[in-house]
Amino acid sequence: MNPVVSPDVLGWFFAWAPLVVGLAIYVVVWLAKRDEVTAPAALGATFACSKCGRRGSREHMVPQVHDGAVSYYCAQCA
């Protein structure tokens, strides 16, 4: 005796399977990401002096270009 799956049941299964699998993936990703804390935007970003390490805003640092790379120095080290 061979069990036969009717075409209606097979069609119903393949009609709903992508939605169910997609919803399951969405729920798993949501559960994994819901407790993450996003870092606040750096409004007062500071730069460290390349020589002494003192931190200051970019307006108070002296930039020096070395072969395309930019190094920032404080007013005392520049």
Q: Is residue 1 part of a domain?
A: no
Please check whether residues 28 and 53 belong to one and the same domain.
no
The three-point CA angle 26-39-23 to 5° equals 5
pLDDT at 43: 62
Whether residue 2 lies inside any domain: the answer is: no
62's enclosing H/E stretch is: strand 62-66
**Domain assignment of residue 69, yes or no:** yes
Span 51-78, pLDDT tens digits:
888 888 878 888 888 888 888 888 888 7
Amino acid at 63: P
Query: How many Å apart are CA 43 and CA 62, to the nearest integer?
Result: 20
Residue 28 lies in a domain: yes
The total number of structural domains that make up the chain: 2
Quick: pLDDT tens for 5-22.
Answer: 888 988 999 999 999 999
Range of the structural domain that residue 18 is part of: 7-36
Regarding whether 76 and 52 lie in a shared domain, the answer is yes
pTM of the model: 0.43
Place of tokens 């097979």: 10
Same domain membership, residue 54 and residue 27: no
The three-class DSSP label of residue 68 is: coil
